[in-house]
Amino acid sequence: MTLRRIPMQYSMQSTSQLFSRGAHQALRVSLFGLALAAVTSTASAMSPGGDLVIEAGRIITQAGGEITDGVIVIRDGRIEAIGAADEVERPWDLNVVGGPEFTAYPGFVEAHTSGGMDRANESIDVAPFLNIRDSIDPVSFFFEDVLRNGITTLGVHQGNNCVIGARGMVVRPVGRTVEELMVIGEFGLKLSAAPKSGSSRATQAQALRVAFDDLKSYLEDSVGERRYDGDKAKREALYQGRELDEEESKGRAMGGTAWKVDGLELIPRGELDVKQRPLLELVEGNYAAFIYCGAPMDVHLALEIARDNGFLHRTTLVLDNSCWKAADIIAEAGVSVVLDSAMTHIERDPYTGKEIETVVPRVFADRGVRFALSSNNASSQSLWYQAALANGLGIERSAALDAVTVIPAEILGLGDRVGSLQVGFDGNVVLSSGDPLSTTSWVEAVVVEGEQVYDRKTDARNQHLFEGQTPPVGKQSSMSQGSTGNRR
Amino acid sequence: MRNGLGRALTAALALTALLAPLATAGEVVLRAGTVHAVDGSGPLKDGAVRIRDGVIVEVGANLVAPSGAKVIDYGPSAVIVPGFVAADSVYARGRASKRTAAPGLSALDGFDFYGQYSVALSHGVTAAYITPASGRLIAGQGAVVKLGGVDPGRRVLSSPATIHGSVRADARSVPGFWEPPIPPTVEEGLGYAKPQLPHSLMGAVLALEELMAGGEQALEAYGPRAASDLAALITGGTTWRLGANSVEEMRALLELSAQNGMPLVIDGGLEADVIAEELAAAGARVIFQVPFTANAPVRSWGQGEDSYWPNMSVPAELAKAGVDFAISHSGSTADLLFTARLAMRGGLDAEQALRAITLAPAEFLGAADRVGSLEPGKDADVLVMNGEPMAGGSVVATWLDGELAWSAQSSGGQSAGSDKASTKSSVVVIEVEELHIGNGQVLRPGAITLRDGQIVDVGSRVSRTAGAMVVRGFAATPGLIDAYGFLGLEGSKKSPAADFPMSRIVGPGDELDRRVALAGVTTVVLGPRGRGRAGLPMMPYKPAASSSARQVIADPITVRVDWTENNRLQSGQNVRGLLEKATKYVEGWAEYRRKLAEWEAAPKSESKAKSKDDEDEDEKDEDAEEDEKEEEKDTKKKKKKKGEEEPEPFPVTGIWEGMLVRPPFAEETSIRIQLINDAGEVEGSIRCSALSESLIQVTGRFADGELRISGLGSQGWVELIGTPKQGELEARVLVGESEIEFEAKRTRKDVPRASRPAASKLDEEADEPKGKPRSPKFDGKLEPFRRAMQGDGTIVVSVDREDEILACVDAFEAAGIRPVLYGADDLHYVADKVADRIAGVMLDYRIKIHDREKGLTFINRYAQIANAGIPIAFHSLAEEGAAELPTHAAYAVANGLSAKSALRALTSDVAAMFGMEDRVGLLQVGMDADVVLFDGPPLDPGSSVVHTWVNGEEISR
Amino acid sequence: MKNMILSLALFGTAAGVVSANDDDGTSWVVLADQVYTADGEVYEGGFVAVADGKITGVGPGGGSGGSELDVFAVTPGLIDLGVRITEDPDVLEQSTETSITMRVAHGLDLFDLAWDRELRSGVTTVLASAPDNNVIGGLSVAIKTGGEPTLEARTVKADAVLRGSFGTQPSQGNQQSRGVPQNFYVRRPTTRMGVEWEFRKAFYDTIAAGRFPERAFEGSDVLKRVLDGDLPLSVQAWTTQDIRTAIYLKEEFKLPSMFVDAAAEAWKEPELLVRSGMGVVLPPFSFDGRVGREGAFFAWNTAKMLSDLEVPFALSGHGARNASERLAYQPGLAMRGGLSLEAALEAVTIAPARMIGIDDRVGSLEVGKDADLVLWSGPPFQPTSRVIGVMLDGHLVLDPRETNE
């Protein structure tokens, strides 16, 4: 089906491109101090870097204002020029998509979702050593659906039912393999301040605190033994059968702003227990943290953990809609948040029995907290609709749009690449038949990094959704699979 | 609520509302008849608590309030006590840990600071002990928190408060423990669940000793952290709160603490009475868990002779033996006070019981430095109760950190959909020495409960439900009724049509209405002045009611006709005519019903069924709303008829706008007239700030080029005479004394149809099925007669001379009506002849008159007629003058009328006369909550009204 | 929490003041940039005048005669024929499959907060039906979502509709009998054909009862009214299969007035619908097209299709769980499928009113009708707009002056 149609030139990409992109990626990798440099670079190498010219009667740049009758020139997957038709000179050799009847805007960004995974949660309480990469299903219809709704970047994380969950990744809904999907390989850890099912809040709190205590004592023990010429760590490493490349064989003093363990440089990073490694990265500030809060009281715990272990500055809170009550301390902590898709919170006063309804985004907007919207349930499964609802509930139109573009992009550490249409940014553009927040407009085409990866005219499933025409048998069957996949 | 307690509370509310952000501004002084400080000094009479910055600065009897302090006096009946401390609660309780000992768990992690605890607060519980779990040897660290307060920092009273655990059976069913290795390694392949201590009391004690000892063994058996965490707590000198009920369990714990010197609080203590002396000797402290759970299924205790039987007298025994104890309740914190009273069985005195739910738990749980008693320096967590806490009093206000956290007045919101102005659901209990029901019966003493605008309980004693505001006085009577007054006419001399809806001209009570109510008169039967051939409407309503929701009792309830004519020869003719018409009218309807019934018998379709419903409505026309509907229909039908007679065009229909100047005011004000000209009839509205604050509904005629419309404005009757000529209107309006000339232009020729006409309803009639009998024309003017003839309601007829009285009564009797005589100067001469043929009589102000025979001797007409068994009523024929009515009655009493019949004449009798005894006139359950509170015997010249309630709302100037 | 209580108290007093000023809050003039009357007229800059619970004036320009409210748009109160306000065990009669004479009205808890939730979201009138676990659930009542909490005060039309259900739901939980039945779930029907048979049987018996009075049974009079067309029949039918069954039933027994509820797959065989002249109530839209417990497939343009074919249809919230599914937003989503605003408006106001014959009282802004209004912050039904005011029988139950800050 359309979405799977990978353009020809992409598979026979020129090696020169490969290199340039590889280098670029490697740079970013070292920035994030990621272990899996190899994987990431291959991923980027395979990602399409298309050249395209996009015309639109209206361009919502999300970077200061709109452009009427504008043109976007994308080269090598990046926006080379953007502006009014008469100002931008368009290369003669590029394909052109769009036209005056279209409205163009940056692809939406979903900061936190568990979609596209075979199963959202792992039974182990503390499992930072797991990696979402091994769980993502590239051909899940989830990615097809989000593309259909104009979402071009997603942060995929473990579900909320954990203490410390797997390492999440940032993907784009295009590609046949995880590597093709991947934008950032190991982006952040998922934690939960809300009790894992079957345990009490106190237990959860203790488990979170203990996890970091354990890390600390583990590091101290290892250093201690190393000092007294113990080589337990080495044997452990060999026992786990890992060959240490030169990067891994070097020791490094402990980074981060919170507690420190002296002498960590004595131990080659590669010799550290893989079960403890990710937490160390987190404490050193190399990972982002997504902490789920199921109730306002959880926010206190979440912030305490983030502060005590020095990753507050890289923390994003994933909030249940009751958490508006903790808005003040969230604002004080200066972290950004991802809101639940149900945007109003209804509470019943136990004494009067009267219902009190609170508009959650308004509370955060008033406190100046940066919030992203999410679309994590099937009936509101699209960010444009969430943004529209937020707007209807009294959020400024621009703020509502930011909450599905710019802000989630920043949360995913891609503030300089996606979420708005500027020169140098990824060429992720949605062409819509009308205003993004109107129910009557449809996503007509989606361009990701310069490749048109979605075209409504050839989207058989959408035709089925829209005109209720029964598509050919093959599609029919796959459709039903897909939908069951969606209603996970 | 304004007076006394009411004013205080609302003031307090307003205050806290204003100061909510800056909580620490100014001082507050709370006064009450009694203050229990629970500092060992015993109760204070006329005590007060002074609060600054959320902290108590002074407690004492007749304490002087500093200038600028906000003083709130809750009155002599109020009692002030410290906020209750619940020694047990489920607020942080979660699933127990897999380990038998988890001293690392902190209850604070499980407590929701954002939760709603207003139910607990409303029952006086301001602080509560929380525990992470139960049912483990060591479940974790307990804590004590406040259940409210702005500043989260101040809400933690002590943490860790206790090492919370138990050696009871509930802690001895601990599961085996196993944690899967990650990843599974060769050493520990598939694990097995290691059994954990304890499964017996010995095991429990052993486990505790091992844990305290620490070391490798403890590490092995209880997990890496248990011992170290516990050690930290022990070195911190944390109290052990351990569950123990049976004698053995308690003895075991006493021994343990004797050995290790651990500070111990025994939790449970169901059999503590047995070893009270031992406990006293060991200096142990006991939290007694009352063996009763309110709002829960009844428990069976077991039938063996050694099985435990609940024993509430344990605290009494402990008190005798001198054991320090607290009382706790494992169920809802809201029931703490009740269970504490249960625990008084066996002779525990109130002082000790109160201490056992305030200071004692605070001391045991390390919160006594902040709460538990009213002492300088402690938090201002104060309860105001409407009686002694241990003698049935309940909370009216809860103060937390010196701010009003809950109050009976503020609770209870409006349910959407219902009229927003509906009264707040606060409960008032009135306790008096004499409760005059109104039908002659008197309760001594008496009490009455008002809720939601109605009387819900009457008796010699009524229960003081939670948050009830208790008001005491000497005597209470039903709200008094003026049988015929003008209050609300605002000087109008107009005599409108018999079916004019008076409810249109009355509004929610203003200053004047409230003053009348404060004199005791809560209901006025409003009727216009003057005479009307078809009679004049009378409408009983409550002038002082704060909302229109239940203000009008019935509109109209009856009409007043005049038998006496200036030309005596014609006396009664008009009324006789009316009665004839009415009789025909009633027969007409009866006929129609018969036909309809026959026709119904035949198979019917839905539309027919509908019209049937309408008829049913016509039948049950007791209550005002129905009358409203019918009155609507009436006008509708009129319109329809007119419509047929006379088609378009309507030269005045439309909107007219102009400017006018009303002397003495200089400036121009705009006038906007909106008219519908339907045949000769004109109706519409005038808006002009110079003539009336509110919109003026006008009616009138447009005949041979001249427009005459008039209506009642806020400044009295407004009349407009004008001549419209192609879109120009030259007119003059008369209001009060002034007459104003002005011109207006016609800005629109069509008008959004004012008030009632409902097109769809007309269509519905049009497409009624064939064969259905047509209903006779509905006549609002005759409806009161119809009702009177059907035996509910009456007709008021003014008649004076005895011969006329007899003739009149005969005429009405013939029509099957028991009339109410109005005036009836000579009634006392023929009283016996008409006694049981009339509904009652409204005599005028002349209470004492000269007897015609006996020259100068005076007779009391009221007394005579009352004695003749004729119900009498007092009426004012005045507006605010109605306030004087009770004094008139007092005068009548002073001159021989029995106080009983005088009060009846002002309440139940007059209510029965007009057929409104279902709402007013009696202090009975289900009646409107209109109550008057006197400081002496009612209708005694010396007694005066102290409070008045109308529809359950207290009236204030 | 303290603040909350205070605000409550203050609100109380405030409310008192308000109603004291607005001559008892019974007469209003709503001025709006857009007045959607739902009887064909749309006024750019118009007014609605209200007095004593009735609409006393509608038109362009301004009106007078009451306290004024100024909003962007005003529409009639919304009507939901598919509301699931009764879905709790209390109103579920399990003793029989065809509880024909059962009145759901008697099972309603008027104090349930669900009513208020519907009301605040703009739904002023609903058709409350028995839960669809019986083949013939009983008599539904058309009832207001607010006002004095008594049936008398709230009922718009008692016995408005006879409610039935097709599909698997009515047979759910029923088991084949093996030996002596152990519980009352061991009974007919256990299949959808069983369900359908229960329906047919009921009507056959009724016809028989018509010929031989002695064969009358409880409910035959009600079914008679259905056959005569005095009482509309509403049947839940999610899938094509069920819709088809409904159509055949209608044609077999020549039922004059009947409509299918939750007919998600109405798009599949429109010609049948046109032929039968059946009315249709649609479920809420879903972004992945899957709706209902039977996973019926609901195409975006179904509403458009029905409106083009002039099949009478209404939209419904059908027990919407979260805000985005509320009826107030459904017309907007129908417009996503190409439906015109006018048609979308009628589909939640006058159309449902006509279907159950209460259009003489509600469904449009006409003089003399109940003053049920919805006040909008922007263009109606768009997610970017919000219901900022609701008036029910002239009572302002949601005050734009409070919500619109």
State the DSSP string of A270-324.
Answer: GGS-TTTHHHHHHHTT-SEEEEEESSHHHHHHHHHHHHHTT-GGGEEEEE-GGGG
Helix (H) or strand (E) holding A332: helix A327-333
DSSP state of B179: -
What pLDDT, on a 0 to 100 scale, did the predictor assign at position A2? 38
Residue C153 lies in a domain: yes
The reply to whether residue A351 touches residue B119, judged by beta carbons under 8 angstroms, is yes
Residue C61 lies in a domain: yes
For C392, the closest chain B residue by CA position comes to B417
Q: B-contacting residues of C 197-216, CB under 8 Å?
A: none
Which stretches of chain A sit within 8 Å of chain C by CB?
145, 149, 341-344, 346, 348-349, 351-357, 377-382, 385, 388-389, 391-394, 397, 437-440, 442, 464-468, 483, 486-487
Within 10 angstroms of residue A149's Cβ, the number of other Cβ atoms is 21
| Residue C40 shares a structural domain with residue C124 | no
Phi, psi torsion values for C60, nearest 5 degrees: -75, 170
Q: Which segment of A278-292, B175-189, B269-283, B780-794 scores lowest on mean pLDDT?
A: B175-189
CATH of the domain at C173: 3.20.20.140
Which letter, b or e, does each residue of C214-250 get, where b requires 16 or more Cβ atoms within 10 Å of its Cβ?
eeeeebbebbbbbbeebbbbbbbbbbbbbbbbbbebb
| Residue C337 shares a structural domain with residue C396 | no
Q: Tell me the C-alpha distance between B404 and B401, whole Å.
A: 8
- Chain A CB contacts of B104 under 8 Å are 206, 210
Residue C186 lies in a domain: yes
CB B94 within 8 A of CB B110: yes
Residue in the structure block whose two tokens are 């703009």:
C122
Q: Which segment of B251-255, B623-627, B661-665, C229-233 scores lowest on mean pLDDT?
A: B623-627
Mutate to test the interface with C, among A297, A325, A379 (most CBs of C within 10 A): A379
Q: Tell me the C-alpha distance between B137 and B243, whole Å.
A: 9
Q: Tell me the C-alpha distance between C381 and C376, whole Å.
A: 9
Q: Per the structure, how many domains does chain C have?
A: 2
What is the separation of C-alpha A434 from the centre of its chain, rounded to a whole number of angstroms?
A: 26
Highest mean pLDDT among B28-37, B301-310, B746-755: B28-37
Residue in the structure block whose two tokens are 């789920």:
A292
DSSP state of B206: H
Of A101, B697, B273, A368, the closest CA to residue C65 belongs to B697
**Angle of CA points B161, B167, B168, to nearest 5°:** 110
Helix (H) or strand (E) holding C398: strand C395-398
CB B546 within 8 A of CB C17: no
3-state secondary structure labels for all residues of B723-790 = EEECCEEEEEEEECCEEEEEEEEEEECCCCCCCCCCHHHHHHHHCCCCCCCCCCCCCCCCHHHHHHHC
Q: Which member of C5, C20, C115 has the closest CB to residue B406?
A: C5
The reply to whether residue A352 touches residue C290, judged by beta carbons under 8 angstroms, is no
| Residue C264 shares a structural domain with residue C384 | no
Q: Which segment of A74-88, B606-620, B861-875 scores lowest on mean pLDDT?
A: B606-620
Which stretches of chain C sit within 8 Å of chain A by CB?
4-5, 8, 113, 116-117, 120, 267-268, 284, 286-290, 295, 297, 299-302, 305, 321-325, 332-333, 335-337, 377-378, 381-386
State the DSSP string of A181-219.
Answer: HEEEEEEEEEEE-SPPTTS-HHHHHHHHHHHHHHHHHHH
Helix then strand count (H, E) for chain A reads 17, 17
| Residue C188 shares a structural domain with residue C208 | yes
What pLDDT, on a 0 to 100 scale, did the predictor assign at position A472? 42
State whether residue B454 sits within 8 Å of chain C by CB.
no
Q: Tell me the C-alpha distance between A222 and A219, whole Å.
A: 5
Highest mean pLDDT among B238-252, B657-671, C154-168, C214-228: B238-252
Q: Measured between CA atoms, how close is B37 to chain A, in angstroms?
A: 28
Q: Tell me the C-alpha distance between B741 and C49, whole Å.
A: 30
Q: Tell me the C-alpha distance between A186 and B18, whole Å.
A: 52
DSSP state of C379: S
Mutate to test the interface with A, among C384, C387, C399, C404 (most CBs of A within 10 A): C384
Residue C395 lies in a domain: yes
Mean pLDDT estimate for chain B: 83
**Angle of CA points C188, C194, C196, to nearest 5°:** 130
Say if strands C387-392 and C67-76 run parallel, antiparallel, or are unpaired.
unpaired
Which stretches of chain A sit within 8 Å of chain B by CB?
124, 127, 195, 198-206, 210, 275, 295-297, 300-301, 322, 325-326, 347, 349-352, 354
| Residue C349 shares a structural domain with residue C377 | no
Q: Is B845 helix (H, G, I), strand (E, B) or coil?
A: coil
Q: Tell me the C-alpha distance between A233 and B445, whole Å.
A: 89
What is the mean pLDDT for each group of 10 consecutive residues in chain A (488 residues)?
38 37 39 37 50 94 92 94 90 90 96 88 88 88 88 93 94 91 91 91 93 93 80 62 68 88 87 89 94 94 95 95 93 95 83 81 95 75 88 92 96 94 95 93 94 90 70 38 36
What pLDDT, on a 0 to 100 scale, did the predictor assign at position B753? 45
Report residue A218 as tokens. 């583990």
Helix (H) or strand (E) holding B903: helix B899-906
Q: Which member of C336, C385, C386 has the closest CB to residue A440?
A: C336
Residue C202 lies in a domain: yes
The amino acid present at B143, given as its one-letter code, is A
User: Percent of chain B beyond pLDDT 90?
Assistant: 41
The amino acid present at C58, given as its one-letter code, is V
Which letter, b or e, does each residue of A306-337 get, where b requires 16 or more Cβ atoms within 10 Å of its Cβ?
beebbbbebbbbbbbbbbbbbbeebbebebbb
List the subunits that have 3+ CB pairs under 8 angstroms with A.
B, C
Report residue A62 as tokens. 């999300």
Stated length of chain A: 488
**Angle of CA points B862, B866, B871, to nearest 5°:** 105
Q: Tell me the C-alpha distance between A289 and A277, whole Å.
A: 15
Quickly state the pLDDT bin for B393 (edges 50, 70, 90): confident
| Residue C244 shares a structural domain with residue C376 | no
Give rounded-to-5 percent helix, strand, coil for chain C: 35, 25, 40
**Choice between B408 and B512, residue whose per-residue pLDDT is larger:** B512
pLDDT tens readout for residues B193-205 = 888 989 999 999 9
| Residue C43 shares a structural domain with residue C189 | no
State the DSSP string of B351-365.
Answer: HHHHHHTTHHHHHHT
pLDDT tens readout for residues B526-578 = 999 888 888 899 999 999 998 877 899 988 899 999 998 877 778 888 899 89
Q: B-contacting residues of C 41-60, CB under 8 Å?
A: 47, 49, 51-52, 54, 56-59
Mutate to test the interface with C, among B15, B419, B420, B503 (most CBs of C within 10 A): B420
What pLDDT, on a 0 to 100 scale, did the predictor assign at position C24? 52
The reply to whether residue C382 touches residue A439, judged by beta carbons under 8 angstroms, is yes
The reply to whether residue B424 touches residue C12, judged by beta carbons under 8 angstroms, is yes
Residue C15 lies in a domain: no
CB B98 within 8 A of CB B61: no
What pLDDT, on a 0 to 100 scale, did the predictor assign at position C197? 86
The amino acid present at B21, given as its one-letter code, is P
**Choice between B827 and A246, residue whose per-residue pLDDT is larger:** B827
Q: At what angle do helices C220-228 and C192-211 cross, to 10 degrees?
A: 90
pLDDT tens readout for residues B55-70 = 999 999 878 888 888 8
Residue C62 lies in a domain: yes
pLDDT tens readout for residues B337-373 = 999 999 998 889 999 999 999 999 999 999 999 999 9
Q: Tell me the C-alpha distance between C240 and C220, whole Å.
A: 29
What pLDDT, on a 0 to 100 scale, did the predictor assign at position A478? 37
**Angle of CA points B374, B375, B380, to nearest 5°:** 55
Helix then strand count (H, E) for chain C reads 12, 17
* Residue B666, CB-side half-sphere exposure with 13 Å CA sphere: 0
The reply to whether residue A347 touches residue B109, judged by beta carbons under 8 angstroms, is no
Global pTM reads 0.71
CB A302 within 8 A of CB A295: no
The reply to whether residue C288 touches residue A483, judged by beta carbons under 8 angstroms, is yes
Q: Is B879 helix (H, G, I), strand (E, B) or coil?
A: coil
Q: Measured between CA atoms, how close is A379 to chain C, in angstroms?
A: 5
For A466, the closest chain C residue by CA position comes to C300
Q: Is the ipTM of this complex over 0.90?
A: no
Q: Tell me the C-alpha distance between B48 and B376, whole Å.
A: 12
Within 10 angstroms of residue B237's Cβ, the number of other Cβ atoms is 9
List the subunits that have 3+ CB pairs under 8 angstroms with B.
A, C
What pLDDT, on a 0 to 100 scale, did the predictor assign at position A477? 37
Q: Which member of C268, C286, C333 has the closest CB to residue A439?
A: C333
| Residue C207 shares a structural domain with residue C259 | yes
The reply to whether residue A206 touches residue B112, judged by beta carbons under 8 angstroms, is no
| Residue C217 shares a structural domain with residue C231 | yes
State whether residue C146 sits within 8 Å of chain B by CB.
yes
Say if strands B558-562 and B840-842 run parallel, antiparallel, or are unpaired.
unpaired
Strands annotated E in C98-251: 123-128, 136-144, 155-165, 233-236
| Residue C37 shares a structural domain with residue C132 | no
Residue C14 lies in a domain: no
Q: Answer whether residue B409 shows pLDDT above 80.
A: no
Report residue C364 as tokens. 């449009």
| Residue C121 shares a structural domain with residue C264 | yes
Q: Tell me the C-alpha distance between B637 and B631, whole Å.
A: 10
Domains, chain A? 3-107+421-467 (2.30.40.10), 201-286+288-372 (no CATH)
- Domain around C73: 27-77+367-403
B917: left (phi > 0), else alpha (psi -120 to 50), else beta? alpha
For chain C, what is the largest distance between any 2 Cα atoms, rounded to a whole number of angstroms? Answer: 75
**Cβ partners under 8 Å of residue B324, min gap 6:** B283, B285, B286, B360, B363, B364
Q: Tell me the C-alpha distance between B897 and B939, whole Å.
A: 11
Within 10 angstroms of residue B665's Cβ, the number of other Cβ atoms is 10
Q: Tell me the C-alpha distance between B329 and B560, whole Å.
A: 65
Q: Tell me the C-alpha distance between A199 and A195, whole Å.
A: 6
CATH of the domain at C377: 2.30.40.10
The reply to whether residue A467 touches residue C299, judged by beta carbons under 8 angstroms, is yes
Helix (H) or strand (E) holding B201: helix B201-213
Which stretches in chain C have pLDDT values below 70? 1-25, 86-94, 173-188, 319-324, 403-405
Say if strands C27-36 and C67-76 run parallel, antiparallel, or are unpaired.
parallel
| Residue C287 shares a structural domain with residue C204 | yes
